[in-house]
Amino acid sequence: MDALVRDARRRRAICLWERSLPGSLVVDERGQRFVNESASYTDFGHAQLERGAIPAWLVLDGRHRRRYPFTSMLPGITPKAAIDNGFFVRAATIGELAARTGIDADGLRATVERFNRFAASGVDEEFGRGASIYDNYYGDPTVKPNPNLGPIDRPPFWATRIYPGDLGTKGGLLTDEHGRVLREDGSAIDGLYASGNSTASVMGRTYPGPGGTIGPGMVFGYLAALHMAGAAAG
């Protein structure tokens, strides 16, 4: 599962640091948060689907757009095309941003006010954003007390749509401890092995961190080779 946006040229782009850096939050059409924005793309995508927030809206303040890159856009440089083609919605106030995006205005204002209090204290009381090392990896270490939290209070305000997308590291063939592909009844298919992204993840719906599929792919490739060698020798 992945979080996708479209850049200024309408190309799909993964959304990672953009939603994790200070001065950003994600809401549904009611203007309510539903997830830790700094969570892994797997957890974020699951939460978005469960919420039915398709699309969700990533809301930024002017500080975020001036300080940080966004997909292929440099800090402080927002191509006119990104506004003209609807990728970015820009507004002078939160109320105007709500009106232009169709987000519930009262809900968005209340969410921003509550979020700004969390940013001031450094504690996200709703979803714990910034409380893990994973979250902090995509944060801004110069921002205190929480590298992932910053108030949304500097105009202009921006919003862009986020969609869930497919990720090639989830789903696939079920295998046993030797890397043999299993039938629907759980029996192994002799001579057929699989490992890596063609197989179901050994970690199920979870995501331990970047490169989390590489280790299992190598290990089960090795186990499959050992089993093949043993079968050949036997």
Taking only the tens place, the pLDDT of each residue in 82-100 is 898 889 999 999 999 999 9
Q: Does 79 map to a domain?
A: yes
Same structural domain for residues 44 and 145?
yes
Q: Please give the pLDDT value at position 3.
A: 53
pLDDT, tens digit (0-9, with 9 covering 90-100), for 174-201? 999 999 999 999 999 999 999 988 888 8
Same structural domain for residues 138 and 223?
no
The mean pLDDT of the chain is: 90
CATH code of the domain in which 61 resides? 3.90.700.10
Same structural domain for residues 148 and 190?
no
Q: What is the number of structural domains in the chain?
A: 2
Q: Please give the pLDDT value at position 203.
A: 79
Same structural domain for residues 76 and 113?
yes
Residue where a domain stops, chosen among 133, 165, 197: 165
Q: Please give the pLDDT value at position 230.
A: 86
Among 66-70, 125-129, 170-174, 203-207, the minimum mean pLDDT is found in 203-207
Residue where a domain stops, chosen among 117, 137, 165: 165
Backbone angles phi, psi at 188, to 5 degrees: -85, 145
- d(Cα 143, Cα 122) in Å, to the nearest integer? 10
Percent of the chain at pLDDT > 90 equals: 70
Same structural domain for residues 104 and 8?
yes
Q: Does 172 map to a domain?
A: no
Q: Does 150 map to a domain?
A: yes
Q: Please give the pLDDT value at position 1.
A: 43
Same structural domain for residues 153 and 64?
yes
pLDDT of 121 above 60: yes
Q: Please give the pLDDT value at position 196.
A: 87
- d(Cα 203, Cα 206) in Å, to the nearest integer? 6
Q: Please give the pLDDT value at position 201.
A: 82
> Domain range spanning residue 219?
180-233
Same structural domain for residues 14 and 126?
yes
Same structural domain for residues 109 and 76?
yes
Same structural domain for residues 7 and 103?
yes
Mean pLDDT, rounded, for 153-177 = 87
Percent of the chain at pLDDT > 70 equals: 92
CA 106 vs CA 28, 103, 219: distances in Å: 13, 9, 52
Local confidence band at 155 (pLDDT 50, 70, 90 cut-offs): very high
Local confidence band at 209 (pLDDT 50, 70, 90 cut-offs): confident
CA angle 6, 161, 171 (to 5 degrees): 75
pLDDT of 4 above 60: no
pLDDT of 23 above 80: yes
Same structural domain for residues 108 and 222?
no
pLDDT, tens digit (0-9, with 9 covering 90-100), for 25-40? 999 999 999 999 999 8
Same structural domain for residues 194 and 151?
no
Q: Does 175 map to a domain?
A: no
Residue where a domain stops, chosen among 109, 142, 165: 165
Q: Does 80 map to a domain?
A: yes
Q: Is the pTM of this model over 0.85?
A: no
Q: Does 170 map to a domain?
A: no
Q: Please give the pLDDT value at position 6.
A: 53
* b/e 211-225 (16+ beta carbons within 10 angstroms → b): ebbeebbeebeebbe
Q: Does 64 map to a domain?
A: yes
Q: Please give the pLDDT value at position 222.
A: 95
Q: Does 76 map to a domain?
A: yes
Same structural domain for residues 57 and 81?
yes
Mean pLDDT, rounded, for 150-171 = 87
